Structure formats: structure tokens, C-alpha cells
Amino acid sequence: MVGPLSWLLASLAVLAVQASVLTLQSPRLTVSSSDAAQLRSEPLSLAHKVTPPVELRATDTLKLTFQIVDEDGKGVQPHQTFVRFYDEVTGEEGIQPVKVTAGGKAKLELNMARPPSSLPPSGKDPIKVSLYLGSFKHDPAQYELFDLFVPPSQPPAQHADEVFFHPRPEIFHTFRPEQKVPPKFVSAVFTLLLAAPWVVLLGLLAHIGPQVPYLFSSGIFPFIATLGAFEGLLVWYWVDLHLGQVLLYGAILSIPTAIAGKRALAAVGERRLGKSSPK
Amino acid sequence: MRFLRTLLFPLVALTSLALARSSTGDTVLVLLEPSLKKENFSIFFGDLEKKGYKLTFRSPKDTTPEIIKDDVAQFAHVVVFAPETKTFAGDITPQTLVSLLSKKTNLLLALSPKQTPLSSLAAEFTLILPPPGTPLISHFPKRDTPATVVPVEPPRAHHIISDGLAPVWFSGVPQALGNSPMLVPLLQAPPQAFASDADSDSGADALVEAAEKSGEGLWAGSSLSLVTGFQALSNARATWVGGIEIFSDEYINKEISKGVKSGNRQFVKDVAAWTFQEANVLRIDTVEHHRVNETLPRETYTINNQVTYTAYISQYDPELDLWEPYSGINDLQLEFTMLDPHIRTSLPPVAGEPGKYSVSFRVPDRHGVFKFNVDYKRKGWSYLSSTTVVPIVPPRHDEYPRFLSAAWPYYAGAFSTSAAFLLFVALWLAGDEREPKKGKGSKAE
């Protein structure tokens, strides 16, 4: 007798557990301003979200009241009655447990003048508000209640090293401006000015009409040539050489220059002596 | 090289399908507390051994083998499956575990709702644990397991955890994360889950009071992390797992729903792969710098030079045990620094040359000792850092602009002087004396 009866009781118990579903009775949403004027008051639907979304200003208060009942209509206090605030765009979340009496009556008050710490940091995007009912004895239930707009908050505090984990702003160096060069026309004018003494010199020389009969003689020409080579070495130094190189080449070149110079002076001296000694 | 690889890969694939090596070593020390049996974790340990790891088992109270001997880490990785051990042997202290990280040894640690030395060590990693004795529970979804055994959806589109895994069974403590950027959450709690020590509905009031307490209040929601990775500056990785049962054979074989196995096996394989430096491991092979039209580097560069900097980066391929060039970083940055960065510019990958990142820029017009600084840190990837010191000198006396147009008058003057001197010498040496012409105005008389 005990066997089949206990089997029957067990199956009834299982059926009872399986069928114990929690629902909300008379859920109500109220938004009131700081001077107790009711801005919005309406019952909540469990089937779909409340439209339009709820907007709270910095001084408003949101009140949410409901009663949790099981399928017999009796009020229950489940283990978990949480309201979840979730910002989908930033991923910030806050969980607020709701105070429920033993008879299942629940009230949540959200005063924006003193916001609860569970309200996550948010920007301009809506916060999705949902309700979770969890219990050891009954099946769990969750409802999407409404979207909430609150005044934007400070962003969450960042760790000092967080900056290094993202690309950092680029830095460009401001270079000193290029040195300005005076216009080429001015340089050209002054170069021409420098040519002016040459005009005078060449003109006067033409007037005198000097002659250089001994230029290609063997005494004079080597010296003129080595002097020309020295000038060439200096031009080469200006274009390409370093000081060490020009000093070396100059030292080498100075030997034939000195020899040629002595010969040239001797030739000039001989010429003079030859002229002055009467013959 | 590529030809050898095409030959090698099928051979390697034939020999062992799941051979995947770590880039830092194969030796693993498993600290298994005596109350846990090795056979209960046979699938997890078997998968590790199949990959090629050499596991050494030790009880936390044994004194050998030591984890650090003569200041040298003895193992490449250490797995601490001692969630309820309150006293460890002398060589395992929070300080030695942290020094293991600076010796580049990776750690995998399991926690439990009991208070142990490991829970206070977790706080050093900015993980905030709930009070002792409050494991994670969730009433959602409706299931036959107790509320403390929670199925958790693994993250989607995560660069460490494989995509498309079935939900993972978890039981243990959740961790609230501090805002340290070195933390890498690997498994977030479901939004309906919370930490509680209750086992009946009468605990509801305690929950509300916990939330109203100032301080941490209530551990709840999807901001909690159940498996958290931490990458230290030495690139060693430490993963904290909220409960050890996630590795157990029982949870691996448990079905999520009819006919669908849980995702535990692949999930713990991915967690171990990341922790043991198989996945997401990068390194800089070499860096080069030279002037734009040259190939060899110089001892010093001059201000306003155009300089090219090149970095070669590879990623570790665990299946082939090779470092392969990797061009997937598109936000790498180079800083040219003397005390403060003077230039920070992006270092883009060079198209057509895998692994090569290069940028050319103009050296600032300040001289001094600069350094090329690459410092790349991203969650979940190895940290890359390289510093090359290079002096920048002002131009030498002959490196300034020459032959300026403003100097034309001076050139003309100098050449005039030389020419006039040569003309005079020629006239004087080679010229002839002439009788003054008897002409008008001469003083011939």
C-alpha cells in the first residue's frame, strides 16, 4: 500500500514543483518630480516593453511597485528579486536588489537626487531595465520592463595605465622654418656692381696698350703657370677638398712654384741688367 | 624555407593531430591537493599530455620537486589545483608565486569559496573576491542541477576562446574586476547570477542588506568574471579560475541539453593554450634603422636627416613550433624620444613583406641622445617593447648648404682678386719697359 501511494505522492509533488510559476501582480510605474507632482503613472505590461521610454531628470523620482504571486495567487518572497540596469552601448551594468515583504509586495524607488550606487555610468544611450525573479522553489522568471534615460554621468574611472593599451595620439615635431635667402635679383645686381671696377681697369689698360713680349719665354712662363695652378688648387679646395688635402697639395705645389719664381726673378733681373749696362 | 614547410606540415599533421607546443617550455608542475584525485581530471590532463607537455604531480605539502631552486624556476608552467589548501610547503608562498611570474613562468590557479592564502593573493591581482562561503549561484535557466552549478555562455568573437562553443558548466566563486588593464576576462558571469550562501528562499533579506552595505555590497551580474587572465609585464600569464570543477571529467561529460555536450573541454583547452604561451604570443625579432637612401645603420644621425626604422615581428605557431612573420598589427606605434617623445607615428606593415613594419620620418632639428621606442600593449597579446638608442648630432662644418645665391657677390669678388693678381704678375714679369711717348703734355724737356 505504501509503495504505490508514495509513488503517487511523489508524482504529484513533481507536478506541483513543475507548475509553480511566479508572476507579477499589478506592476505599476510612477515618475514624480521633486515637488511630488506625478509626471507619469501607468501599469506595466509583462508582455512587451513600455513605450515611450521613461525619462528622468536630475530631480525626478521613479517608483516601481508590484506584487509577486505564485500560480495560486498567493504572495511569495522569492530568493532573488533583482532589477538590472544595462547600457548596451558601453556594456556598463548595475544590479539592484528590490526589497520584498513576506507577502510578496515589492517596491523600488530610484531618486535621481541621490542615485543608488547600482545605477551604472551612462551617456546618452538608454539603459535597459529588466527584472529577474529567482527562487529555489519556483521556476525563474525574467521580464524586460522599460528603457530608461537618465542625465549623463561621469565616465567610470580609468586606470592610469589604460592609456598605454590603446593607440596614443600622434605627435609631430615643429621644425624651425627654413632660413630665408634674399632674392637672387639683389645678388645679381651687386655682382654686377662688383664687375664695375673691371670695366674701368680693362678700359685703362686698353688705353695704355701694354705688351707682354716675354710671357712665353722659358723663364717667365713656368712661374705664371704654377701661379695659375695654385689658383686652380684654391678653386678645387672651394669645391671639393678638405683642409688637410689642400695643405698637402699646396705644400707639394709650392716647391716648383718657388723654383720657377726664382728663375723668373733671375730672368727679369738679367733683363734689367742687360738693359742698364751700356753696350 | 616555404618549400620545406609545405613538406613538413602534412608529416607533422599525420603524426599527431593535436600536437601544439608552448613557446616557453613543456615542463608543467601540477600542485594537486590530496583530496582531489588525478583520475577525476583525466581528460584535461590527458589533453595536455597529448599536446606534448610533461606533467609532474606534487602535493602542496610535499617539499620536492621545488618550484624555484637556487633562484632559477624549475618548471615552465605551474598549475595550482589546491583550492582548499590552507597551508602549503615552505617553497610555495605568495611571494614565490609572484616571483615565478617575473621569472617568466606561467600560472594557472583555481580558487574556491573557502578562504585560503590564494584568495589573498588574488587581491594582489586586483581581483575582488566575495566573502568566504558565498559561491556563485544562478536560478536561471531552469535546470535539474543545483543552483551552484551554473551553465555559462562563453564569450563570442573573443580572440582567445574559440567561437561557437556550447555553454560551459561552472561552479565556484565569481571575481569582481578592478580596472587594471592587464586583466583579461575569459569568462563573464551570466547577468542573472550572483554570489550567495543561501540554499532557501529565506535568504532574500540578507541579499538586500548586503547591497545596501557600503563598499562592495553585492557580487552580481555580467560584470563579474569567472575565469580571469592576467598578463604581467614580463609577459608571463597567470589565469585565475573561480572553481576547479570546470576542469573535471564530470563537467566535461555533462550535457547542457539533450544530446549537446558542454563546451568545457574546448574551453579549458583554450584557457590552457593562452596561459601556457601557445596562443597570442608575439615577439620582435630584430629592428633596423638607416638613412632613407642607404642600407647600413650609422653610429650617429644628423638633424633633419630622413631616417627609416624597420621592425620585424613574428607570432608563435604552436602546431609547427615555429615563429612565423606576422603582419596583423595595424596600430603599432613608434616613438622617437629624448626624455619626452618628440615624434610619435604609426608603424604600418609593409604590403608584400610579411612581418615587416616600417616608417620613414625626418629627424627633429634638436641634437641629443634619442631612442627609437616601440611599446605595444594590448589585452590578451604579448607585450612588445624595444628601445634603440641613437645619438643625433648637429651638422658638421661641411654639411651646411653651400653655393648660396646670396654669396654671388663674394664669389665674384674672390675670383676678381685672383684674376687681377695673376694679370698683374703677368704684366709685371713679362712686360717690357717702354720709352714714354713723345706726345702732348710730356715733360720731355
User: What's residue B440's pLDDT?
Assistant: 52
User: What's residue A7's pLDDT?
Assistant: 52
pLDDT digit string (tens) for A210-235?
877 777 888 888 999 999 999 999 99
Instruction: Check CB contact under 8 Å for B409 and A191.
Output: yes
User: Do residues B70 and B45 lie in contact, with contact meaning Cβ atoms separated by under 8 Å?
Assistant: no
Residue A90's closest chain B neighbor by CA? B223
The whole-number average pLDDT for the span A123-134 is 89
Higher pLDDT residue, B112 or A218?
A: B112
DSSP conformation class of A72: T
Higher pLDDT residue, A14 or B224?
A: B224
pLDDT digit string (tens) for B7-38?
555 555 555 445 778 888 899 999 999 999 99
Instruction: Check CB contact under 8 Å for B201 and A84.
Output: no
User: What's residue B438's pLDDT?
Assistant: 59
Q: Decide if B220 touches A, using CB distance below 8 A.
A: yes
User: Do residues A176 and B365 lie in contact, with contact meaning Cβ atoms separated by under 8 Å?
Assistant: yes
The pLDDT of residue A2 is above 90:
no
Which chain A positions have a beta carbon within 8 Å of B413's beta carbon? 194
The pLDDT of residue B5 is above 80:
no
Higher pLDDT residue, B203 or B186?
A: B186
Q: Decide if B343 touches A, using CB distance below 8 A.
A: yes
Instruction: Check CB contact under 8 Å for A136 and B201.
Output: yes
Q: Decide if A158 touches B, using CB distance below 8 A.
A: yes
pLDDT digit string (tens) for B143-177?
888 889 999 999 998 999 999 999 999 999 999 99
Q: Decide if B380 touches A, using CB distance below 8 A.
A: no
3-state SS string over chain B? Answer: CHHHHHHHHHHHHHHCCCCCCCCCCCEEEEEECCCCCHHHHHHHHHHHHHHCCEEEEECCCCCCCCCEECCEECCCEEEEECCCCCCCCCCCCHHHHHHHHHCCCEEEEECCCCCCHHHHHHHHCCEECCCCCCCEECCCCCCCCCCCCEEECCCCCCCCCCCCCCCEEECCCCEEECCCCCEEEEEECCCCCEECCCCCHHHHHHHHHHHHCCCCCCCECCCEEEEEEEECCCCCEEEEECCHHHHCHHHHHCEEECCEECCHHHHHHHHHHHHCCCCCCEEEEEEEEEECCCCCCCCCEECCCEEEEEEEEEEEECCCCEEEECCCCCCCEEEEEECEEEEEEECCECCCCCCEEEEEEECCCCCEEEEEEEEECCCCCCCEEEEEEEEEECCCCCCCCCCCHHHHHHHHHHHHHHHHHHHHHHHHHHCCCCCCCCCCCCCCC
User: What's residue A45's pLDDT?
Assistant: 82
Which chain A positions have a beta carbon within 8 Å of B341's beta carbon? 171
pLDDT digit string (tens) for A168-181?
999 999 999 988 98
Q: Decide if B233 touches A, using CB distance below 8 A.
A: no
Distance from CA of B71 to the nearest CA of A (A): 30
Higher pLDDT residue, A15 or A229?
A: A229
Instruction: Check CB contact under 8 Å for A162 and B342.
Output: no
The whole-number average pLDDT for the span A75-91 is 90
The pLDDT of residue A12 is above 70:
no
pLDDT digit string (tens) for A150-173?
888 888 888 999 999 999 999 999
Q: What is the mean pLDDT of chain B?
A: 89
The pLDDT of residue B415 is above 70:
yes
Instruction: Check CB contact under 8 Å for A181 and B405.
Output: yes
Residue B179's closest chain A neighbor by CA? A159
Distance from CA of A68 to the nearest CA of B (A): 13
pLDDT digit string (tens) for B341-378?
999 999 999 999 999 999 999 999 999 999 999 999 99
Q: What is the mean pLDDT of chain A?
A: 86
Distance from CA of A14 to the nearest CA of B (A): 12
User: What's residue A17's pLDDT?
Assistant: 47
User: What's residue A40's pLDDT?
Assistant: 84
User: What's residue B442's pLDDT?
Assistant: 46
Does the model's ipTM exceed the 0.90 cut?
no
Provide the pLDDT confidence category of residue B402 given band limits of 50, 70 and 90. confident
Distance from CA of B273 to the nearest CA of A (A): 23
Share above pLDDT 90 across residues of chain A, in percent, rounded to a whole number: 33
The pLDDT of residue A276 is above 70:
no
Residues 407-426 of B with CB under 8 A from A: 407-409, 411-413, 416, 418, 420, 422, 425-426
Instruction: Check CB contact under 8 Å for A81 and B398.
Output: no
The whole-number average pLDDT for the span A43-58 is 83
Instruction: Check CB contact under 8 Å for A172 and B362.
Output: no
Which residue from B139, B223, B398 is facing A93, i.e. has the nearest CB?
B223
User: What's residue A19's pLDDT?
Assistant: 56
pLDDT digit string (tens) for B285-305?
999 999 999 999 999 999 999
The whole-number average pLDDT for the span B279-283 is 94
